[in-house]
Amino acid sequence: MEGFSFSTDVTVRFAETDAQGIAHHAAFVVWLEVARVAYLEKNAGGYQAIRDRGLEALTTEVQVCYHQAAYFDDRLTVWTRCTDVRGARFRYEYRITRDGELVAEGYTAHATVDRETYKPTRVPAWLAKALATAESRAS
């Protein structure tokens, strides 16, 4: 997808469906997190590496627009990019597609905090650089 250099796939679990016969809308929020973890795995040594360095990334905002229903066993592609790293804050944008068709899109906003004190902590240089490097490949 144009503007995105990274994607990961998820398959809709039966437990993620609801009585409307479709994937429940809250499941998408979990898939965005799965995509962030995969993104960090590829581009910054993994989320656990960040935690191991004494940081947590809190989620401060989530937004998802649902364009199509997703169904049990659908294989979805979650396109993911990190944008706007500023101070202790950063942001991801997503497009979820199925066979190239847009199913949903959204963004999440995050703040890095010290893992002990939960006080806001500037995104460390090594992480900001890793994210910038990853995104420079997308253009």
Chain positions contacting a copy of itself, by CB under 8 A: 13-15, 17-22, 24-26, 29-30, 33-34, 37, 46-48, 56, 58-66, 69, 71-73, 118
| Cβ 40 to a copy of itself shortest distance, Å | 10
Structure tokens at 82: 């990190």
**Smallest separation (angstroms) from a copy of itself to the CB of 20:** 6
For a copy of itself, the closer CB: 118 or 126: 118
Residue 128 CA to its chain's centroid (Å): 16
> What type of residue is 135?
E
Tell me the β-bridge partners of 52. none
Q: Which is nearer to a copy of itself, 42 or 56 (CB)?
A: 56
d(CA 33, CA 117): 23
Q: Which is nearer to a copy of itself, 64 or 128 (CB)?
A: 64
Produce one character per residue of 50-63: b if its CB has 16 or more CB atoms within 10 Å, e if not. beeeebbbeeeeee
The nearer residue to a copy of itself, 73 or 84, going by C-beta atoms, is 73
